[in-house]
Structure 1
């Protein structure tokens, strides 16, 4: 039984997957005898099997392959949790690359703060071919946080995190299937854990690179994603039991204000070709998301396997 499982969900990104797995296999200051790597292939066909089997040959720790053909990010993560044997689950995305000290830094922070979840920074890097809005795009796909390590009162996404399995509300299927198509299954889980008194920590030394796929390095993608991110607070209030209608109304009102103010600024910035014009469009899109958050306006980013 492994002490730590590094889980890497994937879907048709064989090059990025190989980079991610190899980066785990070159970690320092960890005991590979206590480690396993688990790749969860969320494709209808087992398209990543041969890649994973090749990476497993001669590896310093077991490299397991799990095929989850049911579409959806929550399905993929839950399938991995079912197979994982670790007391701790570290999540790495298939477009991320972990520096050599990444896992040791996560584990040290967990022990130092008795944390149920530890998060680390994500540093996005765009290829040299991306010139327009490059700074904005790299910031969009990055995760920034405090300069100092310590206990935090909020949470981030699953990518580059370490979970203590015993702290999960369900150690086998903790991710909500209703979020398969729209994402946010990790936010829902961490929100439940925070409500239950879980301890979250931040470790700036546990950072990873992220290499977004080229078709995401466009304003069409990031503004749609910003709109979806903006929907989060309103949708969270609506999904509460009982529904927090006052919270929904408050967030919708905030969204209207943001959409109007930031949208006006964005228009002026665009007319003057200001360097930061994409940032203001992003803020306006998030405001619109708070306002238009229900069914017809939900955008499907996940769950496509065909």
Structure 2
């Protein structure tokens, strides 16, 4: 749960500048206040000395606290680091170094220690035709500090042998390659799930990088409470090179804050969100999630009518969160489990992605009712007020951005996708049924 003693204010990414102003890219880095003499690239990729505009994730005793920004000058990295440290103390209310006692910070969850003989975690990366990105992703995954891991790459309906050859030549002894010929992210996730040997399955995307402590934070959360069936983590931008990438962060991004939270089926009455308990998007994203293997297998895996690569464009992660919680388990968000995502780089790709978010959410709601028809009445009661609040929040968020016109357009695209979502799910179900029948003929 959110802890009242955790008073740090999460910093948002800087708002995008207006279209008439030349865009200034921002270099994304990490600043550890225990070692402020250097900045590091995301995903444990080593020290960097950036100049220009910089966005820094601030850590203290390993915990992520928030984001701060500053502008550096070429050849003067020390001044930039001092500016970022000052911003951390000023904006994030970080204690002065002399009073910052080591150890867990007040209000942090997930502080349970992982035993030396802890459970095996299977890391599953589903990919399709993204060789260069996949290589960087795997390098970060293989740099995780948790010792009991196996890594599986699921090559989903590839158009060539690039991924197979990459794994064979560069990672043969450390990564298992699995081929899934039928397109669809949910199907690829299920293929990885079927091959997994671990008690925990952790998922990330091929366009993401993970923190060295990512798996450890996930496993610690599971170890802290047997009722936790799913853990999600903090997702931050790996780069802000283009206006579209920063517009995505302004619109909402993937980050869910810097305070831990737990959710159960009976939490809250929907006062702050009329769509509860259906509003599972607040829990996290499939780019950074882990599930108890026996729990997700017991639920039948991921619904293969959902997910990227199907008419629904997404929603398989949301449906998994919902079904885990509806089955009586807790879904936990732990910001210490950090992943870095490379957002879409062009305006056209961004608009397509946001439209897909809407389609996926509408498809997820439809799938939830299909799986549990008794939920149609409580969902129908919540939809009108929930959608009104959802749409108002999108307009407010978009209106505060420098690229307000673009933001409002994104809001409309997402709403259009939401309206199409139920149809997309039914189309996807019918298509899967047709393919199954043809395959049996």
TM-score, structure 2 normalization: 0.56
The whole-number CA distance in structure 1 between the counterparts of 2:286 and 2:396 is 34
| 1:254-288 deviation digits (Å, cap 9, x = unpaired) | 5478769977997xx69xx9533333333344444
1:4 aligns with 2:116: no
1:37 aligns with 2:151: yes
- The structure with higher relative contact order (CA 8 Å, sep 6+) is 1
Q: Give 1:107's match in structure 2, choosing from 219, 232, 240.
A: 219
Q: Which residue of 1 aligns with 2:184?
A: 72
Give unpaired runs (5+ residues) of structure 2.
Answer: 1-118, 265-279, 433-441
Check conservation: 2:209, 2:238, Cα contact below 8 A.
Answer: no
Higher helix share: 1
Taking structure 1 as reference, are residues 216 and 41 closer, same or farther at Cα in structure 2, changes over 3 Å only? Answer: farther
TM-score, structure 1 normalization: 0.78
Taking structure 1 as reference, are residues 117 and 249 closer, same or farther at Cα in structure 2, changes over 3 Å only? Answer: closer
Higher strand share: 2
Check conservation: 1:125, 1:210, Cα contact below 8 A.
Answer: yes
Aligned length: 287
Taking structure 1 as reference, are residues 147 and 262 closer, same or farther at Cα in structure 2, changes over 3 Å only? Answer: closer
Check conservation: 1:97, 1:210, Cα contact below 8 A.
Answer: yes
Q: Which residue of 2 aligns with 1:214?
A: 345
Taking structure 1 as reference, are residues 175 and 223 closer, same or farther at Cα in structure 2, changes over 3 Å only? Answer: closer
Q: Which residue of 2 aligns with 1:196?
A: 327
What SS class does the counterpart of residue 121 from structure 1 fall into? strand
Q: Which residue of 2 aligns with 1:149?
A: 260
Q: Which residue of 2 aligns with 1:116?
A: 229
Give unpaired runs (5+ residues) of structure 1.
Answer: none
| 1:1-27 deviation digits (Å, cap 9, x = unpaired) | x81110000000111111111111112
The whole-number CA distance in structure 1 between the counterparts of 2:390 and 2:333 is 29
What SS class does the counterpart of residue 355 from structure 2 fall into? helix
RMSD: 3.5
The whole-number CA distance in structure 2 between the counterparts of 1:241 and 1:203 is 32
